[in-house]
Structure 1
Amino acid sequence: MNFKDYGNTLEQSFQKNALAKQQAAFISKVYMWMSLALFISGFTAYFTANSPGLLNLMFTPTGPTFLYYALIIGELGLVFALSGAIYKMTLGLASAIFLFYSFINGMTLAMIFLAYTMSSIASTFFITAGTFAIVSLYGYFTKTDLTKFGRILFMALLGVLLAIIVNIFLKNSMLDLIISVVGVLIFVGLIAYDTQTLKSLGAQINAYERESYSKTAIQGALSLYLDFINLFLYLLKFLGSRR
């Protein structure tokens, strides 16, 4: 190898290392936002479940109140706002909406404390966290292009949503079991897919454009947060002990 070839190889190595550090820094920022949102949701859910006044506003012996359904609709509105219009917002507003969404979601998640034992919720959370970590690491380091699987997963997710709506009227326990199994598989796949997508995005986005960089990290955190929460809820149906 001549000196010129050696210099080119060395330069390529430096560029590769710089790119890897850039990707790692971006993913770390995404995980930071996601972890903060999970903490807020978990704390809010526990606090709400232990506040009789809040529970009475959201639930009655016959079922959820109007406020509970209003919070669900509000959550959906916030997700659509962040997903579709985050780059039209200021960074402060985008951050506030994301954190407020995690707070509202925590309030609605309080119902799991009414249905399942605290020990089973805790154990399922740690199993979810471990699964998330393993699958996310796979998505980050795998050389397999998961793009084609992403399209399949999104189509399967639409099918699950349709099945959930149908089963509201059918109340079929077997269909509910199938939905739960498929739901776990879908969100395990989406964790890997979203992680790989965010890694690729981390190689393209300019860290010096602070506002755009942070907004993209928040949007990525929202995707992984939703993956985590949904995986947790589906696993809870299998692993949770009813009260």
Structure 2
Amino acid sequence: MGRVYLVGAGPGDPELLTLKAYRLLREAPVVLHDRLLDERVLSLIGGKKVDVGKGQGESHKQEAIHRLLLHYAQAFPFVVRLKGGDPFVFGRGGEEALFLASHGVEVEVVPGVSSVLATGLPLTHRGLSSGFAVVSGVLDGGGYPDLSPFIHVPTLVVLMGVKRRAWIAQELIRLGRRADEPGLFVMEATTLKERKVWATLKEVAAGKVEITAPAVWVLGEVVRLFRPCTKEASASLAKVEV
């Protein structure tokens, strides 16, 4: 029985791979990879590539992925399961690790840089943001998340929330977050297609902000403070104790 490595591919830029991830991609006999990975990362794979990516609403495919991992672990000395970002941040890596362990397969996790950390914004800042939270805009089976626990979090990061952005913004305002709270969408962060869109919660709620997936959405005063090249950012910086 071979070992399975759950490897984080990072947010896109291949130079953000860990050295261990790079080595495993070059040496692995087979790599089972996600759908939205940057082609520059996929080009590093030296062995067989198996695309096991899922589209939205295709969570039923997860069981098939489990079986494929088990099949290849029985056939090769080691296998790589390559996931965007970090395997344990909305990557279902925990489910795969538990399944493999229950079948006697040794699992090792190789962490990756989550897209949460790839926006160019500090998620905490002394005197301004003492913590942050990350929430998914879509629950398993297509359900809607309960956003009430995130109302008072200084910095809120939303993943997989592009299609529901208007509803998410409306719900956050209804629950008590400020309508004028600044936000930043970062689409395809760290890739050659990266694009940023700045918008208040009210603008998003009104359906005035055009975004394409995948995108990371950051809400909080750190967004206002670090918006580059504006008088508003400079004035805000002067008011913050550093």
Same fold (TM over 0.5): no
Higher relative contact order (CA 8 A, sep 6+): 1
Decide which structure has the larger Cα Rg and report it. Answer: 1
Higher share of residues assigned strand: 2
TM normalised by structure 2 equals 0.24
